[in-house]
Amino acid sequence: MGERKIVAAGSGAALRLAKGQQLRIIDPEGGQSGDLVAFSTDGSERLSNGRTFDYGGKVYLSTGDVLWSDRSNPMLTIVADDVGRHDFLYASCSLEMFRMQHGVTGYHANCHDSLCGALREIGVDARPLPTAFNFFMAVEISPEGRLSFLPPRSKPGDSFVVRAEMDLAVAVSACPASTCNGGAPPRPLAYQLLD
Ligand SMILES: [Zn+2]
């Protein structure tokens, strides 16, 4: 089992997964969401929320569900999940989002830059970034279709595990947006290769 590595609050990390390898993503302190994106090693396929909804037929994903690529191949399967609530609708937070919605004038850490920067370090150009799997992020959809954020349901030490269904470059961020983290300041996440 691999070493447990920390994703510092508001930052990101990228790694390569061989087909069949399993990655555990952990919320050490609880109540913290993050983003995950994936690309095939040859760069021809990217994570797709739309294809995942096409083939899964639902927007709430958990154990047994598959995250599909934009070329209709399975990329990742969720094989364990302590939390059972994640979002795959929202785009990663970005500098533009913080400026438009929160009045930020200078730089603000954001998942878009964290994911793109981490992937650049392993030689992957992630732009334009696909919609990320917003793990631990609790989004409610009203009968009228309105979206609202609830605090993440993850408790300290909760995790989920994905298995790579192809050779992948994967990036994970610890989200600095307080709106989707119960109003709390940014906290770290962690990950561990299982085999
Ligand atoms: Zn974010």
DSSP assignment of 37-64 equals EEEETTSS-BB-HHHHHHHH--S---TT
Distance 78 CA to ligand 1 centre (A): 21
Distance 63 CA to ligand 1 centre (A): 23
3-state secondary structure of 118: helix
Q: What is the strand order of the sheet 12-17 is part of?
A: 12-17, 168-174, 34-40, 133-135
Distance 175 CA to ligand 1 centre (A): 4
Distance 44 CA to ligand 1 centre (A): 25
Q: How far apart are the first and last CA of the chain?
A: 6
Distance 173 CA to ligand 1 centre (A): 7
Distance 60 CA to ligand 1 centre (A): 19
Distance 79 CA to ligand 1 centre (A): 24
Distance 11 CA to ligand 1 centre (A): 9
Q: How far apart are CA 165 and CA 16, in angstroms?
A: 12
pLDDT, tens digit, 9 for 90 and up, residues 159-186: 999 999 999 999 999 999 998 899 999 9
Cα dihedral value 42, 43, 46, 51, nearest 10: -60
pLDDT, tens digit, 9 for 90 and up, residues 67-90: 999 999 999 999 999 999 999 999
pLDDT exceeds cutoff 90 at 192: yes
Distance 19 CA to ligand 1 centre (A): 27
Q: What is the strand order of the sheet 189-193 is part of?
A: 5-7, 189-193, 22-27, 158-164, 74-81, 66-68
The pTM of this model reads 0.97
pLDDT, tens digit, 9 for 90 and up, residues 130-170: 999 999 999 999 999 999 999 999 999 999 999 999 999 99
